[in-house]
Amino acid sequence: MKAAVLREINKPLEIEDVQCGNPGPREVLVRTMAAGVCHSDLHFQNGSYPYPLPAVLGHESAGIVEAVGDMVTYVKPGDHVITCLSAFCGHCEHCLTGHMSLCQEPELQRPPTEPSRLAKGDENIAQFLNLSSFAEMMLVHEHAIAKVRDDMPWAQAALIGCGVTTGVGAVIHTAAVEPGSSVAIIGCGGVGLSAINGAAIAGAARIIAVDMVPSKLDLARKFGATDVVNAGECDPVEAVRELTGGGVHYSFEAIGLKPTTEQAFKMLARGGTATIIGMIPVGTMIDLHGPEFLMERKIQGSNMGSNRFRVDMPRFVDFYLQGRLHLDDLISRKIKLEDVNEGMEALKTGEIARSVIMFD
């Protein structure tokens, strides 16, 4: 099969012929139909987050079940599925206490004593985040997929696999935004726009979108923003405080930078909560003013929107088909696997929401 392989940090992905294994116990072989080019892939390509190489990148995807291994009862060949990188074991402390997105059990990968799921001849290829969706096929643990209805378009379904679940989930699960509350979202890429959409679904009364790109701020209004702040023209903290008379109940950082993380905390009202969604590079330290904690301001992280993805993803599909999730506007363009490096480069400009790779 064709796959996009990362062999060196800060180098383009290479389209290569890679072998995909047959499904073993609890494994599912999925024919990839669509894969979003997510900013998280860029973090691994540029070395912000170290990962074993060579590896097939990609983690935001949807496809059709081709075959299943022994003991798989959840899906059958022909089922439509969305993948999720936060695969769960179902029996560890995190899973049993309802925090499935924090599961890190090694049983979700093949043990070193067994053949690699991906290989090129005698060379093992690392599977990226349990998935590796920049490839024509994916061999995954059955707990890395959610079955969805057949009338969901592939490109939009793929987006639910990461960006939408991360953004909407951070609002409704991690932060538990309340109806009538005020919200600020810093960064209007795919995840930030999804957080804005999630805040609208949650019933937030004031939703303030913060970005430096006017076209993204225009798009934010489509997703439910009631106000926009161009951080390139003013101090976003002061602007948010002025709009709300002292700060927001909830803020979300959806970029992954030190300055914007600190801004998210500073724009809170007393008792407010800042949720950091963006992937802050390894080694980055965040500076906060200690006395502000006396105002009961809080800061917290979010991993994949604190999801319960087998429950959440089918619901998000319903939301889209009901017109409540605006996934069409998240797709900037559809490309082929051979164009994956163009999709990666486009992420660096900050101008687009998502490129989606479509497989024949």
* pLDDT tens-place string over residues 129-162: 999 999 999 999 999 999 999 999 999 999 999 9
**Comparison of pLDDT for 192 and 353, the residue scoring more:** 192
Q: Does residue 240 lie within any of the structural domains?
A: yes
Residues 294 and 310 in one domain: no
In this prediction, residue 273 carries a pLDDT of 98
What share of the chain in percent tops pLDDT 70? 99
> Rounded CA gap, 13 and 20, in Å?
18
pLDDT digit string, tens, across residues 292-310? 999 999 999 999 999 999 9
Residues 196 and 71 in one domain: no
Residues 96 and 244 in one domain: no
**Helix (H/G/I), strand (E/B), else coil: 19:** strand
175 pLDDT higher than 80: yes
Residues 335 and 239 in one domain: no
**Helix (H/G/I), strand (E/B), else coil: 295:** helix
351 pLDDT higher than 80: no
Of the given ranges (62-66, 170-174, 297-301, 356-360), which has the lowest mean pLDDT? 356-360
Residues 80 and 48 in one domain: yes
Last residue of a domain, one of 258, 280, 301: 301
Task: Give the pLDDT band (50/70/90) at residue 332.
Answer: confident
What is the CA 189 to chain-centroid distance, rounded?
Answer: 11
In this prediction, residue 232 carries a pLDDT of 94
CB neighbour burial string for 42-60, b if at least 16 within 10 angstroms, e if fewer:
bbbbeebeeeeebbbbbbb
Peptide bond preceding 54: is omega within 30 degrees of 0, i.e. cis?
yes
Residues 27 and 122 in one domain: yes
Q: Does residue 143 lie within any of the structural domains?
A: yes
How many CB atoms within 10 Å of residue 27? 21
| Catalytic residue set | 38, 40, 43, 59, 162
Domain that holds residue 286: 176-301
Task: Give the pLDDT band (50/70/90) at residue 286.
Answer: very high
How is the beta sheet containing 227-230 ordered, strand by strand? 227-230, 206-211, 182-186, 248-253, 268-276, 298-301
**Helix (H/G/I), strand (E/B), else coil: 324:** coil
Q: Quote the tokens at residue 245.
A: 């008379």
Calculate mean pLDDT across residues 275-285: 93
Q: What is the value of pTM for the model shown?
A: 0.94
**Comparison of pLDDT for 215 and 274, the residue scoring more:** 274
Q: Does residue 167 lie within any of the structural domains?
A: no
The length of the chain in residues reads 360
Q: In this structure, are strands 27-37 and 60-68 parallel, antiparallel, or unpaired?
A: antiparallel
In this prediction, residue 349 carries a pLDDT of 77
pLDDT digit string, tens, across residues 62-83? 999 999 999 999 999 999 999 9
Residues 192 and 69 in one domain: no
Residues 10 and 88 in one domain: yes
> Rounded CA gap, 131 and 102, in Å?
17
Which residues 6+ apart lie within 8 Å of 121 measured at CB?
19
In this structure, what is the dihedral angle of CA atoms 256, 257, 259, 261, given to the nearest 10 degrees? 20
How is the beta sheet containing 2-6 ordered, strand by strand? 14-17, 2-6, 55-56, 123-127, 118-120, 19-20
Residues 95 and 38 in one domain: yes
Backbone angles phi, psi at 107, to 5 degrees: -65, -10
Task: Give the pLDDT band (50/70/90) at residue 85.
Answer: very high
Which segments within the chain are labelled E, that is strand? 2-6, 14-17, 19-20, 27-37, 55-56, 60-68, 80-83, 118-120, 123-127, 137-141, 145-148, 182-186, 206-211, 227-230, 248-253, 268-276, 298-301, 333-335, 355-358
Q: Does residue 124 lie within any of the structural domains?
A: yes
Q: Does residue 168 lie within any of the structural domains?
A: no
How many CB atoms within 10 Å of residue 233? 10
220 pLDDT higher than 90: yes
350 pLDDT higher than 80: no
Q: Does residue 169 lie within any of the structural domains?
A: no
Residue 334: CA atoms inside 13 Å, Cβ hemisphere, count? 13
Calculate mean pLDDT across residues 337-354: 84
Cβ(155)–Cβ(34) below 8 Å: yes
> Rounded CA gap, 50 and 282, in Å?
9
Residues 289 and 331 in one domain: no
Question: Looking at the 3D structure of the chain, how many domains does it have?
Answer: 2
Average pLDDT, the chain: 95
Q: Quote the tokens at residue 65.
A: 């079940």
**Helix (H/G/I), strand (E/B), else coil: 328:** helix
Task: Give the pLDDT band (50/70/90) at residue 352.
Answer: low
Residues 212 and 315 in one domain: no
